[in-house]
Amino acid sequence: MASDLKGKKIAFLATDGFEQVELIEPRKALDDAGASTVVIAPKGGKIRGWKHTEWGDEVKVDKSLSDANPQDYDALVLPGGVINPDSLRIDPKAVNFVRQFVSSGKTVAAICHGPWTLLEAGVLSGKKVTSWLSLKTDLKNAGATWVDQEVVIDGQFITSRNPNDIPAFNRAIIDSVSRGVHQHASV
List active site positions: 112-113
**DSSP assigned state of 82:** S
**DSSP assigned state of 35:** -
| b/e per residue 163-186 (b: at least 16 CB within 10 A) | bebbebbbebbbebbbeebeeebe
Measured distance CA(6)–CA(2) in Å, rounded: 8
Measured distance CA(147)–CA(161) in Å, rounded: 10
- DSSP H helical ranges for 16-81: 20-32
